[in-house]
Chain A
Amino acid sequence: MTTEHLPEHPDFLWRNPDPKSSYDAVIVGGGGHGLATAYYLAKNHGMTNIAILEKGWLAGGNMARNTTIIRSNYLWDESAAIYEHALKLWEILPEELEYDFLFSQRGVMNLAHTLGDVRESVRRVGANKLNGVDAEWLDPQQVKELCPILNINDNIRYPVMGATYQPRAGIAKHDHVAWAFARKCDELGVDIIQNCEVTGFVKDGNKVVGVKTNRGTINTEKVGLCAAGHSSVLAEMAGFRLPIQSHPLQALVSELHEPVHPTVVMSNHVHVYVSQAHKGELVMGAGVDSYNGYGQRGSFHVIEHQMAAAVELFPIFARAHVLRTWGGIVDTTLDASPIVGTTPVENMFVNCGWGTGGFKGTPAAGLTFAHTIATGTPHKLNQPFALERFETGALIDEHGAAAVAH
């Protein structure tokens, strides 16, 4: 009997270094936003003596748990600007990062089920066009042509009255996005340090000068927080508050199916969003669980509700099965817009509050946040999203305005 040898392990995409005693900047959180921030700090600002600290494993939080939808059809100018910039970056990143992370511009449809929905949708299409975002209004027949499995009959509680459609929107393989950024970060000299939990900050007066971790204290000149659902916990360690609430957000997948769903369909009103992953699973999500939670799990009635909505819209899904459900912790703000910028602590910067929609914003969050960390000043795209807006009242109210299924 001969023994077959296992093939050689492929090369690792990034090193697994121990933390150094000091860095020019430290990014807390090794998810998509932390990785993108570090990448643009190194690439655009020449800051390569930097580290990403991740308390678990790389991209194991919301980056591994989202439903991978990418779109930029937001209502307000400030949001359209930053999300459209993100979409333009998504379009060039596979080449720039030399990694095909399967960005598939299969379009995103946002269904309208009431007269109010129709008015809001048509208004948003107009606003999108004025902001250079591709958008069109589809009548039910056009909806059916683009997505034949959708039920547009009037025999359901909330018939489809039309949809907005953004052809350039789509999905990408989230894990591959993280790996693509991580490999480039590593090549540029960034230390990605996993299993390194931040336990406190070292301050000199009101200035942050170091980060305490379970692997020792690290001196640093600048700190960027990219910790999504745990941002409040870190802010409290640093001595300030953030106007965010952490909620569980759940999603689910079916078993694998033949390709049946050619686009991405979102419905605010009956509340579900559905796409089909490259591998074949139907991927679904909806809104957050109502209560505050850090448990990375939610209540099952939320899953039942979104499956009921999916079956009503897509009758053939009735014979699919739930393979897996899970939850992440999302950091929501009261105006459903992110917070990116400076904090009350000198040399500490925060990128949080992306809530239920952070994945699509990853490249623009990273690019603009890197600018803010490197220069200490806002980028023109993230300036409206500063923490101060809650004091000035200049909110960017995307609740119900942004085709968002909160």
Chain B
Amino acid sequence: MLLIPCPNCGPRDETEFHYGGQAHVPYPENPADLTDREWAEYLFYRDNTKGAFAERWQHSTGCRQWFNMLRDTVTYDIQAVYPMGQLRPATGTTAPTVTSPVSPEGAVK
């Protein structure tokens, strides 16, 4: 089971979380202008990375907040946790870095 460092609540069991798939997939700026191909890309195509993957999780039985996580899809190591809206951090760190915008006093140091 993954031990996920929630930025608000600290490390919790994976069973408390809901998986949200690939992070950083913006809603199309001009939806009316999209071709069928572009709609297909937005609706059905996601990266299926083998290695470091930026994904969204929600702490559904805790603070209920969404956040981003960088996780290796082969080793399942969690490399970084960072707020929604923040750009993906550089990879290569060994210990997970946790950034919290909400309640710094509750964050994992």
> Interface with A: B24-32, B37-45, B82-90, B100-108, which one?
B37-45
A-B contact count (CB 8 A): 65
Q: Is the CB of A301 within 8 A of B73?
A: no
Task: Report B-chain residues with C-beta under 8 Å of the C-beta of A390.
Answer: 40, 43-45
Q: Which residue of B lies closest to A388 (CB)?
A: B40
In the assembled complex, the CB of B30 is this many whole angstroms from the nearest CB of chain A, namely 19
Q: Is the CB of B19 within 8 A of A291?
A: yes
For A291, A294, A295, A390, the residue with the greatest tally of chain B CB atoms inside 10 Å of its CB is A291
Q: Is the CB of B1 within 8 A of A300?
A: yes
If A294-B74, A390-B40 touch, whether A244 touches B2 (CB-CB below 8 Å) is no
Q: Is the CB of B21 within 8 A of A245?
A: yes
| Size bin of chain A's contact surface | 20 to 34
Q: How far is the CA of A393 from the CA of B40 in the complex (A)?
A: 8
Q: Name B's interface SS.
A: mixed
Q: How far is the CA of A246 from the CA of B18 in the complex (A)?
A: 17
Tell me which of B19, B36, B43, B71 contacts A290 (CB under 8 A): B19
Is A334 an interface residue, CB under 8 A from the partner?
Answer: yes
Is B53 an interface residue, CB under 8 A from the partner?
Answer: yes
Q: Is the CB of A293 within 8 A of B76?
A: yes
Q: How far is the CA of A216 from the CA of B84 in the complex (A)?
A: 45
Task: Report A-chain residues with C-beta under 8 Å of the C-beta of B53.
Answer: 292
- Closest 7 A-B residue pairs measured CB to CB? A232-B48, A290-B19, A243-B44, A391-B40, A299-B1, A390-B44, A390-B40
Binding site for B on A (CB under 8 A): 230, 232-233, 241-246, 290-295, 299-301, 333-334, 390-393
**With A246-B48, A292-B49 given, can you name 7 additional A-B contacts, CB distance below 8 Å?**
A242-B45, A245-B48, A290-B18, A292-B55, A293-B74, A294-B50, A299-B2
